[in-house]
Amino acid sequence: MSQLIEVTVPDIGDYTDVPVIDICVIVGDVVKVDDALVTLESDKATMDVPSSAAGVVREIRVALGERISAGAVVVVLETSEQAAVTPPVVAVPVAAPAPAVAAAVPVAAPAGGAVEVKVPDIGDYHDVPVIDVCVKVGDTVKVDDALVTLESDKATMDVPSSVAGVVREIRVKLGDKVSEGAVVVVVDSGGDSAAVASVPAAPAPVAAVPVVASAPVPAVPAAPPGVGLAPGARTHASPSVRLLARELGVDLNKVTASGPKGRILKEDVTAYVKGVMTAVPAVAVAAAPPLGGGLDLLPWPKVDFAKFGPVEIKPLARIKKISAQNLARNWVMIPAVTYHEDADITDLEAFRVAMNKENEKSGLKITMLAFLIKACTVALKKFPEFNSSLDGDNLVLKQYCHVAFAADTPNGLVVPVIKNADQKSVAQLAIESGELARKARDGKLSPAEMSGACFTISSLGGIGGTYFSPIVNAPEVAILGVNKSVMKPVWNGAAFAPRLILPLSLSADHRVIDGALATRFNVFIAQLLADMRRVLL
């Protein structure tokens, strides 16, 4: 006998009236215990409401955008044994059920060439779910290529390949929970790649399930290749994918899903962004007036450089490849203007040196970057437009203050984020920025430590230069570039005096910040650095 169960929102702490941003099921879906039913998103976290029982979805009690709290009913399930295994389908003539397909014999890894790639040190995380398997049997991988993606309640992380070779066996599947040391993939690092690539993956066993005629269930049409969902349609994506989409300014309704059950993966979001990036130049050229009889969009030049002299082919590091895509998109799509200002840091530098000498025994070393971060947090509060992001026709003003800084590493620039920087002292900012910079150089930054920034500082002070035009990091609306300070003669009203000058270069999205506002922000930063006592006001 069937039983109807109302699945309610569990205890979600102090959160109330949390909006529903995704409905992960439709009427007629078969769900298991802990399957996501709906996704909620507060101002601080995204959370799935899991199913408390296995069964068939008979009714959905919430709608997209509706605000709900703990105890609210989201879905009604039918939990009889028959309902738990047999979804309702349209009544049609049914042929005899096909026999179950036997599992294929797994391909044995060749002796001497097989390497088991394991989950590396992931800190205190245990039983972390696999949310994406990035390779398949027969794929050729290089060192540091992502094999699987894990997602804890706090961070998303890739498990990279420790060797180059051909994937012979995949030991995990979507939804598996793994910990440090678990084997995820077996890679053939010395066998015949061509032979391995030709071996098909073993088909999964298919159980013979009888089809029961029932009331018709409306089907959800799949989007054709390259076409996203219609406005208002539901989207299936994990919290980490939604976070990535928000940071890139991507509307998930426009993204074509390639994951199981129409789920949007990170690769789908990046593929959409690549498509937009390649389309923008064509649109720009088409809209531009003809130049000397018309201008056609030319393909990227293909040149055999070796015919002119010796060359060396060196693949881009993974970080640089990812950065290249983001920077190209930001450069094309953000109408940014750069404003320059000089800050007199003579007294501040003298104070910094004195403090470092005073704290020499304790090991505390205060950097100019720490003072810059502190000054920026004060400026962001005075000029809230700089602590915002564009969301369509709306401006999202953030009530938190997370400041990022560009860190130079052997593999390229990465951007760690100091969370709640406005609540920390200069000494705390110096310690935290130093620790994050060390982790960046060692390649140990987690995704959580590189996300959520409101404003970015790109400092070239340790290298040199005078001024430059930093590229705004979407979805932020501004970035501050800093060069090496230099001693200059400055007129004080009676004579020229030597003063230590720090060049500032502020790039801002002109759709949000006009020239007058940007200049005021720059001048205010310079005033704070000239006299840090202003920070106390």
Identity of the amino acid at 88 = P
User: Does residue 510 carry a catalytic annotation?
Assistant: yes
Give 59-76 as a 3 state SS string.
EECCCCCCEECCCCEEEE
For residue 380, give the nearest of 278, 193, 517 by alpha carbon.
Answer: 517
CA pair distance 122, 131, nearest whole angstrom? 16
Q: From the candidates 126, 236, 402, 510, which is the catalytic residue? A: 510
CB atoms within 10 A of CB 280: 14
Residue 5: phi, psi to the nearest 5?
-125, 130
Beta bridge partners of 486: 501
Instruction: Identify the three-state secondary structure at position 49.
Output: strand
Instruction: Identify the three-state secondary structure at position 91.
Output: coil
155 Rama sector, left if φ>0, alpha if ψ -120 to 50, beta otherwise = beta
**Contact assessment for residue 120 and residue 159, using Cβ atoms and an 8 Å cutoff:** yes
Identity of the amino acid at 33 = V
240 Rama sector, left if φ>0, alpha if ψ -120 to 50, beta otherwise = alpha
CA pair distance 7, 25, nearest whole angstrom? 13
CA pair distance 264, 237, nearest whole angstrom? 5
CA pair distance 144, 160, nearest whole angstrom? 5
For residue 168, give the nearest of 150, 183, 149 by alpha carbon.
Answer: 183
Widest distance between CA atoms in the chain: 102
**Helices and strands (H and E) in the chain: how many:** 9, 31
DSSP string, 318-377: HHHHHHHHHHHHHHHH--EEEEEEEEE-HHHHHHHHHHHHHTTTTT----HHHHHHHHHH
Distances (CA, A) of 201 to 137, 139, 160, 167, 169: 6, 11, 21, 11, 9
First and final C-alpha spacing in the chain = 71
DSSP string, 452-494: --SEEEEE-TTT--S---PPP-TT-SEEEEE---EEEEEE-SS
Instruction: Identify the three-state secondary structure at position 311.
Output: coil
Q: CA-based Rg of the chain, rounded to a whole angstrom?
A: 28
Beta bridge partners of 146: 160
CB atoms within 10 A of CB 297: 10
Tell me which residues are annotated as active site: 510
